[in-house]
């Protein structure tokens, strides 16, 4: 083995006599200085990049970056923190997509709060695993307190419980697993085989695709998700839910769950939760509320009422890594009745034997789909302990306000057409020239999005609405100003106009470039 070459930035502590040089890289009482320096060096690189970023992206193309990553021989270590960080600058940091930049307006990625980054640093170094008490101790209790706190904010009642997960996709899968098992609770194994392909989930056309994925993973039929079209406001209609439940039942198809969304991914709309909860209660159907995006309202000083009715859900997905300004990953599934969590329980002799239940030793693996699991809850804990919930809610309120201003701006701009006003922080719009047909308009919008990202001056998302190409701002950065939005709109119009002029004879055009 080659001895590591070290610089002043990351000098190793000498390994104990007789220890291999590789041991110098293990975090131990012998190497705490090296650990401090290495992490500080990494933090310093990121801080410098953040301070220097002039746009959210460099616009690097995969074919430009891939050869550099490919050229690295992973079997020949650099042996040196500084050299590895220099290399990382070239293959990652230089061209990273920066969510802290005010003109990053694309997906549901938030800038992150510093107390959570502190949590990230602590949790990865201690490296607790959240499956059992003997791997996490206080971590188990902290996670439990945060679940209790979240359930209280939702208003789920005294029997509520839940668990942290890797994200909204997992939380939704987990919720639907519990719903499936509740629906089949009384079934014999033979009945299960008959019933499984008959189960139906009612979801909104504006809901998240992870519901479809979950249905597939849960072994349901390919047409198990009954998609309910939304109204023009892009919200699920309670009457349509009632109608579909009745229709399924007439067809002999048991409805195992209704999935309502508090913050649709594209439109930022919130389904009428109270009315849908009423429909579900009357029909005796499990209500899952996907609040992956809208959960930030739980701490909003001014908008909590938008979630009214969520307290009637059987299960709720909350993604702290979307609207609580937490680093990925940080999500939770919270349920009204803790007994339903047993559907994910499996006792393994080596880990969580049944006797640990009798001994009242708390463990989280009994509730989780994962075994080894990060202590992501620590990030939220430090966030609440340093900033407090109101400060997080204020940040979320700010982005909702900014998105409302952005909507006004787009709506008043004759170059653009804008859709439904979001209750959260998205704006769905498109450049609308007069003259060319819908296909060319679609292509111009698509091209404008790509050209904008390639320029590195701004990043926006795209989506299809009723078969046509739209663009989308997701505002999750309180630092984004109306001037940033106006600047990006001008760039979009310029790129789209240029595309059109390159593809349509001038005589057919009535719109100027830009």
Q: How far is the CB of 291 from ligand PLP (least distance, A)?
A: 8
Beta bridge partners of 471: 429, 462
The interface mask with ligand PLP, positions 467-486, x = CB under 6 A, is: --------------------
| Strand order, beta sheet including 161-165 | 161-165, 331-335, 315-319, 287-291, 255-261, 200-204, 225-228
Number of residues that bind ligand PLP (CB under 6 A): 15
CB-wise, 269 or 469, nearer to ligand PLP? Answer: 269
Count the helices and strands in the chain (H runs, E runs).
17, 12
The interface mask with ligand PLP, positions 423-442, x = CB under 6 A, is: --------------------
- Coil, helix or strand at residue 207: coil
Contacting ligand PLP (CB under 6 A), which of 208, 336, 374, 402? 208
CB-nearest residue to ligand PLP: 168
- Coil, helix or strand at residue 149: helix
DSSP letter string, 2-51? PPPP--GGGPPPPPPTT--GGGGGS-STTSHHHHHHHHHHHHHHHHHHHH
CB-wise, 237 or 472, nearer to ligand PLP? Answer: 472
Total Cβ atoms within 10 A of residue 407: 23
Q: How far is the CB of 359 from ligand PLP (least distance, A)?
A: 35
374, 329 in Cβ contact below 8 A? yes
CB-wise, 105 or 496, nearer to ligand PLP? Answer: 105
Please report whether residue 269 would count as binding ligand PLP according to CB under 6 A. Answer: no
CB-wise, 244 or 266, nearer to ligand PLP? Answer: 266
CB-wise, 280 or 318, nearer to ligand PLP? Answer: 318
Contacting ligand PLP (CB under 6 A), which of 143, 161, 182, 290? 290
CB-wise, 331 or 480, nearer to ligand PLP? Answer: 331
Please report whether residue 265 would count as binding ligand PLP according to CB under 6 A. Answer: yes
CB-wise, 288 or 495, nearer to ligand PLP? Answer: 288
Binders of ligand PLP in range 302-341 (CB under 6 A): 319, 331
CB-wise, 143 or 271, nearer to ligand PLP? Answer: 271
Contacting ligand PLP (CB under 6 A), which of 130, 292, 335, 453? 292
What Å distances lie between residue 283 and 181, 229, 236, CA to CA? 18, 20, 17
C-alpha 215/C-alpha 65 separation (Å) is: 37
Beta bridge partners of 477: none
Angle at 116 between CA 173 and CA 472, to 5 degrees: 60
Here the contacts of 187-195 (C-beta below 8 Å, separation 24 or greater) are 195/254
C-alpha 333/C-alpha 150 separation (Å) is: 10
Contacting ligand PLP (CB under 6 A), which of 31, 135, 210, 383? 210
Q: How far is the CB of 17 from ligand PLP (least distance, A)?
A: 48
User: Which one of the spans 86-94, 176-184, 261-269, 464-472 is the region binding ligand PLP (CB under 6 A)?
Assistant: 261-269
Please report whether residue 261 would count as binding ligand PLP according to CB under 6 A. Answer: yes
Which tokens sit at 498?
Answer: 């240029």
Query: Is the dihedral angle over the CA atoms 476, 479, 480, 481 positive or is it negative?
Result: positive
C-alpha 120/C-alpha 141 separation (Å) is: 18
Q: How far is the CB of 403 from ligand PLP (least distance, A)?
A: 15
Contacts with 166 (C-beta within 8 Å, 6 or more apart), sequence order: 329, 331, 370
CB-wise, 290 or 484, nearer to ligand PLP? Answer: 290
User: Which one of the spans 258-266, 271-279, 382-390, 447-455 is the region binding ligand PLP (CB under 6 A)?
Assistant: 258-266
Binders of ligand PLP in range 136-175 (CB under 6 A): 167-169, 172
C-alpha 164/C-alpha 331 separation (Å) is: 6
User: Which one of the spans 73-81, 92-100, 154-162, 285-293 is the region binding ligand PLP (CB under 6 A)?
Assistant: 285-293
CB-wise, 34 or 317, nearer to ligand PLP? Answer: 317
Beta bridge partners of 472: 428, 461
CB-wise, 289 or 493, nearer to ligand PLP? Answer: 289
Contacts with 442 (C-beta within 8 Å, 6 or more apart), sequence order: 468, 469
CB-wise, 210 or 469, nearer to ligand PLP? Answer: 210
Q: How far is the CB of 170 from ligand PLP (least distance, A)?
A: 7
| Strand order, beta sheet including 104-105 | 104-105, 459-465, 468-474, 426-431, 416-418
Binders of ligand PLP in range 29-88 (CB under 6 A): none
Q: How far is the CB of 334 from ligand PLP (least distance, A)?
A: 14
φ and ψ at 292, to 5 degrees?
-55, -40
Total Cβ atoms within 10 A of residue 434: 9
CB-wise, 108 or 378, nearer to ligand PLP? Answer: 108
- Coil, helix or strand at residue 410: helix
Q: How far is the CB of 302 from ligand PLP (least distance, A)?
A: 22
Q: How far is the CB of 208 from ligand PLP (least distance, A)?
A: 3
Residues near ligand PLP (CB under 6 A): 108, 167-169, 172, 208, 210, 261, 263, 265, 290, 292-293, 319, 331
């Amino acid at each position: 083995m080659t001895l590591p070459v070290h610089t002043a930035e990351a000098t190793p502590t000498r390994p104990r006599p007789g220890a291999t040089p590789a041991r110098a890289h293990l975090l131990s009482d012998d190497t705490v200085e090296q650990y401090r320096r290495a992490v500080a060096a990494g933090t310093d690189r990121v801080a410098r990049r953040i301070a220097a970023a002039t746009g959210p992206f460099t616009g690097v193309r995969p074919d430009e970056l891939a050869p550099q990553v490919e050229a690295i021989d992973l079997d020949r270590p650099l042996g040196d923190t500084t050299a590895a960080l220099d290399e990382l600058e070239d293959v990652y940091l230089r061209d990273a997509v920066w969510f802290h930049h005010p003109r990053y307006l694309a997906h549901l990625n938030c800038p992150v709060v510093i107390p959570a980054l502190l949590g990230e640093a602590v949790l990865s170094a201690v490296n607790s695993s959240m499956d059992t008490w003997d791997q996490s101790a206080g971590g188990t209790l902290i996670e439990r307190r945060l679940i209790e706190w979240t359930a209280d904010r939702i208003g789920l009642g005294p029997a509520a419980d839940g668990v942290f997960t890797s994200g909204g996709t997992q939380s939704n899968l987990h919720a639907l697993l519990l719903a499936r098992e509740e629906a089949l609770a009384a079934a014999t194994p033979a009945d299960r085989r008959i019933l499984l392909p008959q189960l139906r989930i009612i979801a909104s056309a504006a809901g998240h695709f992870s519901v479809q994925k979950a249905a597939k993973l849960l072994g349901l039929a390919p047409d198990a998700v009954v998609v309910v079209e939304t109204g023009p406001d892009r919200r699920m209609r309670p009457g349509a839910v009632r109608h579909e439940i009745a229709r399924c039942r007439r067809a002999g198809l048991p409805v195992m769950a209704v999935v309502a969304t508090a913050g649709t991914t594209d439109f930022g709309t919130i389904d009428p939760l109270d009315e849908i909860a009423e429909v579900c209660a009357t029909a005796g159907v499990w209500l899952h509320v996907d609040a992956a995006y809208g959960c930030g309202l739980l701490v909003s000083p001014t908008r909590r009422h938008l979630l009214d009715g969520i307290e009637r859900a059987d299960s709720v997905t909350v993604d702290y890594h979307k609207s609580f300004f937490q680093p990925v990953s940080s999500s939770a599934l919270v349920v009204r009745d803790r007994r339903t969590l047993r559907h994910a329980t499996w006792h393994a002799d080596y880990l969580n034997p049944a006797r640990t239940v009798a001994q009242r030793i708390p463990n989280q693996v009994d509730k989780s789909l994962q075994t080894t699991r990060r202590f992501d809850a620590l990030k939220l804990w430090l966030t609440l302990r340093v900033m407090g919930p109101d400060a997080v809610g204020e940040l979320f309120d700010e982005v909702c306000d900014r998105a409302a201003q952005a909507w006004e701006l787009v709506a008043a701009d004759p170059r653009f057409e804008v859709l439904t006003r979001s209750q959260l922080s998205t704006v769905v719009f498109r450049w609308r020239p007069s003259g060319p047909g819908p296909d060319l308009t679609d292509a111009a919008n698509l091209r404008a999005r790509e050209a904008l990202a390639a320029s590195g001056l701004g990043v926006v998302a795209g989506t299809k609405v009723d078969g046509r190409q739209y663009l989308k701002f997701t505002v999750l950065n309180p630092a984004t100003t109306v001037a940033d939005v106006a600047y990006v709109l001008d760039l979009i119009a310029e790129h789209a106009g240029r595309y059109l002029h390159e593809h349509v004879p001038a005589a057919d055009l009535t719109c100027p470039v830009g």
